[in-house]
Amino acid sequence: MEIMNAHIQMKHLLPAWKTFRSATDIAPIRDEAHYQRMVATLEAVLDETAGDESHPAMGLVDIVGDLIEDYEAEHHPLPDVTGIQALKFLMEQHGLKQTDLREIGSQGVVSEILTGKRELNIRQVRALSERFGVSPATFV
């Protein structure tokens, strides 16, 4: 009976997937143009979620972010660094202090993030992505 249910679900799933795919172009990234569209899609979805971790579109943020991360790992490889290491590097390159990152919180919050006591949330990732002009995947 379980196999029958899987077949029935696929019967309904495939048309929905085709419609979704043609409307969004969300799929493994094929080339640089597709990569740019996916980054724009991620930014639009992040705008829609407005930092709300419980927003229904957060699953889409994860999926698109993973697709971007996979493409970047193969085509735009960076040294293996954590999001915090990337943030520290960007702060150094831009001559910023913890107090300069008010968009992610107080100096105390920034300190906790930089020391690994606190993780960046989606709103903070979005703010840092915009500030430094890098993919949100840089910080996750």
- What was the pLDDT predicted at 11? 84
Q: Where are the domains of the chain?
A: 25-77, 83-139
Dihedrals phi, psi of 99, to nearest 5 degrees:
-70, -15
CATH of 83-139, one of 3.30.70.270, 3.40.1440.10, 1.10.3080.10, 1.10.260.40: 1.10.260.40
Task: Look at the pTM and tell me if it is higher than 0.75.
Answer: no
Residues contacting 72, CB < 8 A, separation 6+ = 35, 78, 135, 137
DSSP string, 12-36: HHHHHHHHHHHHH--SS--SHHHHH
pLDDT per residue over 87-120, tens digit each? 999 999 999 999 999 989 999 999 999 999 999 9
Rounded to an integer, what distance in angstroms lies between the CA atom of residue 20 and that of residue 94?
40
At 74, the pLDDT band (50, 70, 90 cuts) reads confident
Q: What angle do CA 28, 123, 116 make, to 5 degrees?
A: 95
